[in-house]
Structure 1
């Protein structure tokens, strides 16, 4: 991803005490897993219990990838990275050059960068496994307005969860973030580090915050970028995130209409978008990627995927124009929706532990759907929290980590980052998460896109200074 922006962070600073790099020896066995992007990559595995209170359930094996610090004489320690999800691969993030941007070079110089795949994800075993056709049915109404429609949603999700459980085994019931946070402590000990540094994006902010709440004394430094406040009640979070997605779509439309770099330049882009989605709702729009007609939900989800990265907006204009053209093809949009992605099973299973459905019946769901449309009159068909809420209605595995506070006391200053126009994690979440962490520093972005790491040179610079030197931005710091 192209990461170019201008650094403009303010401020008075707070300096953390340096942590000695001395550590006990690692018990991990590393072997080369070099890629073209990262030829120095090494991989290992670590074993964790599926349930620490019930050893009879056996263990899981977590996959790790390490990029050794280039400056060994000035090595600070291990920097654990989680790119989000739930279901994202830290191993893939590390091996594919997730921190390869030149302005992040100090992190590669001074840290062993360690990516890991949380329990159930990607190269960790057992892997959360679901039949794709059972998990996702494009014909299913995710906004049912009748009791029969609601019961069909419940029955579908119950069947999908049972299928995932049969294919995955007992791990599925313990694929929650509380359990994953304890796995981080196992990784820390296996690395032989007295303390770890952490870079968490999106869902990785929840995972990091839970770890810090449990093991504050094991944190050297922690960046929570694209912050999730897991204390948010689901109904509130649904509406806040929907409004944030709507804001991002409206901002894209305004840019597109006025920019010669957009294929829909000069047009009423919101009306064009609404027409495309309405046509998909009536009869579908052909997608050469899917080899069938794409639904309105799939079109909307694909547009959402392009709102994540500001540099992807020109491509979004091109693909939206193609979906609404004389010979429409929604391929460019359906390639970005996650309904058929390899991680959708893990995304759903972990999400139902952490973000379970709040709906009590069809009337309740209908009321929330009307509020959702009011909050997001254009983009209402897809937002992640509605995907969790609708997809977890009837899910047969009991949630182990429903929304709750994860306050942090006794850790060094933690850097929380929120974006005023982030389509996935609204700025109020970053503010309340920072307020729940004693001594946290809040950095606000006023630009577009999800997470500062992927959209803001200013943010990346602040993250580097903090992680390397322990210097946090001062009160009221803003990246513009």
Structure 2
């Protein structure tokens, strides 16, 4: 997720036709001068060949030690809506800890169907997709009807601008695209590094094509089999935990701009009244401020920046631009994020009363951070969405794959540790690596987890059971 194990509808297995060899062309960037790019054409709808094709964008960093090349390692950096092409081209593997991966693998990033440089691209009018005047926690029938009407109109706008791809952007379809990429690469098996949403996509692929997996890391695990109401509450609690931990650090650390301040009280006051944002040219809402704070919580290294952003938003000359610039509602991938989210995580609410019960539980477990969490954004935003969901949550165990490494964090604000445990339990022979530090995903926050992931991807040998990175 940035969000965020996958379930499959019980469809018959489909044979993937042979793909022509990829035509790689140089696409060097300053961070990655050896990058090269290609594309793969896939069926838009595999049940209706007449529906046409989609084109997937790929970028690759060839192995630096061809004599000891293991194969292709595919990366999905999350979202839904994140760009694997951008991750590979612009330094996602630039750190020294990835030297072994660069030696032994062709590192392949791809943009899933509908995303970034793949075509057709999911396209929505941002002004129609998000309206700060719409209450995402409706208290009356009129407010609930307004939320449904807004979401329906937003979805219809996306459908008009995107076309049939909007209804084919589910993770099952994207997983079959991964198989098409494997065939085009000419690899009998692929290795996989998936973070956040990339864990859902990877788990779907492993459940459908276990014989074509060599090794797979699922870091920041999404358990797609989880009942949605349960997932909403668990994630809200995880976001609250991260905010409380940040506040505790901030109050006691001279590194924080709000050192010595009651940070939770300060935060509550700020989001309750809103704060002017020069980036928006207006007063930002509590939802927008809360979403911005959530964006900073994803990385422990950004906590000092979060302290400065909060101090600026409530200072003598208030400006919350640093917060609103990272709020999810204004992200360039928000249209794809919403559209794919509504395919995989449709709203479970049967009406206002049902929604309000869940909203009350969210506020109970997240008394400070309740205004924004990703699963509330999905489920409130998908209420009334006009495109039927192809991939709603349901169990999908993985059998017959080699040992898979699942990574979860005790203080991850986006993907609770319970999700990693649930996903690991659904994968035969998997090993769970637990990290006790802060932030979303071990890849982005834990040197220990990164080292274990690299070691496993190269060797194929998982860490011992019960391994903890503290």
Q: Is TM > 0.5 for Structure 1 vs Structure 2?
A: yes
Output one character per residue of 1:288-343: Cα deviation in whole Å (capped at 9) or x when no partner. Answer: 11122111100000000000000000000000011111211000100111102111
Pairing 1:356–2:346 present: yes
1:317 — aligned with what? 307
| Secondary structure in 2 matching 1:445 | strand
1:437 match? 427
Name which of 46, 52, 63 aligns with 2:57.
63
Question: Which sits farther off after the overlay, 93-102 or 143-152?
Answer: 93-102
CA contact (8 A) 1:26 1:192 kept: no
Q: Does 1:288 align with 2:269?
A: no
Specify the alignment match of 1:198 in structure 2. Answer: 192
Residue in structure 2 matching 1:88, options 82, 85, 97: 82
Cross-structure match for 1:141 = 135
Which residue of 460, 463, 467 maps to 1:470?
460
Mapped to 2, the partners of 1:351 and 1:196 lie a distance apart of 26
Deviations 1:131-190 (A, max 9, x none): 110111111100000000000000000000011001000111110000000000000000
Distance in 2 between residues matched to 1:75 and 1:291, nearest whole Å: 52
For 1:406, what is the secondary structure of its paired residue?
coil
**1:38 Cα offset (Å):** 0.6
TM-score, length basis structure 2: 0.96
Query: Is residue 2:158 matched to residue 1:158?
Result: no
Task: Identify the residue that residue 164 of structure 2 maps to in structure 1.
Answer: 170
Length, aligned pairs only: 453
Aligned with residue 106 of structure 2, among 104, 107, 112: 112
Kindly indicate whether the alpha-carbon contact (under 8 Å) linking 1:26 and 1:191 is maintained by their aligned counterparts in 2. no
Structure 2 CA distance, aligned partners of 1:61 and 1:405?
30
Q: Which runs of 5+ in 2 are unaligned?
A: 1-17
**Residue 298 of structure 2 aligns with which residue?**
308
* Larger RCO, structure (CA 8 Å, separation 6 or more): 1
Give the corresponding residue for 2:382. Answer: 392
TM-fit CA distance, 1:424: 0.1
Match of 1:271 among 265, 269, 273: 265
Cα shift at 1:105: 1.1
Moved over 3 A (4+): none
> CA-to-partner distance for each residue in 1:1-20, whole Å, 9 max, x for gaps?
xxxxxxxxxxxxxxxxxxxx
1:186 to 176, 180, 194: 180
CA contact (8 A) 2:19 2:180 kept: no
What whole-Å deviation, never above 9, does each CA across 1:199-218 have from its counterpart, x for those lacking one?
00000000000000000000
Q: 2:246 aligns with which of 227, 252, 266?
A: 252
Residue 99 of structure 1: how far off its partner (Å): 1.4
The alpha carbon displacement at 1:456 in A equals 0.4
* Matched residue, 2:32: 38
Whole-angstrom distance in 2 between the partners of 1:366 and 1:423: 23
CA contact (8 A) 2:75 2:193 kept: yes
Asked if 2 retains the 8 angstrom alpha-carbon contact of 1:84 and 1:204, the reply is yes
Is 1:377 aligned to 2:367, yes or no?
A: yes
Aligned-pair distance for 1:25? 10
Residue 339 (structure 1) aligns with: 329
* 1:327 and 2:321 correspond: no
Aligned to 1:225: 219
Unaligned runs of 5+ in 1: 1-23
Find the residue that maps to 1:471 and give its secondary structure. coil
**How far 1:26 moved relative to its partner?**
7.1
Counterpart of 1:240 (choices 231, 234, 252) is: 234
Q: Separation in 1 of the partners of 2:43 and 2:319?
A: 47
Query: In structure 2, what is the Cα distance between the partners aligned to 1:406 and 1:32?
Result: 39
Partner deviation per Cα, 1:50-77 (whole Å, 9 max, x = no partner)? 1111011111000000000001110000
CA deviations 1:241-291 (Å, max 9, x no partner) are 0000000000000000110100000111111111101111xxxx1111112
CA–CA separation in structure 2 for the residues paired with 1:345 and 1:136? 9
For residues 294 and 271 of structure 1, what CA distance do their matches in structure 2 show?
A: 18
* Per-residue CA distance 1:333-356 (angstroms, 9 max, x = gap): 001111021110000000001000
Residues 1:31 and 1:244: Cα distance change in structure 2 (over 3 Å): same
| Aligned equivalents of 1:55, 1:323: Cα separation in 2 | 53
Matches of 2:431 and 2:94, distance apart in 1? 26
TM-score (norm: length of structure 1): 0.94
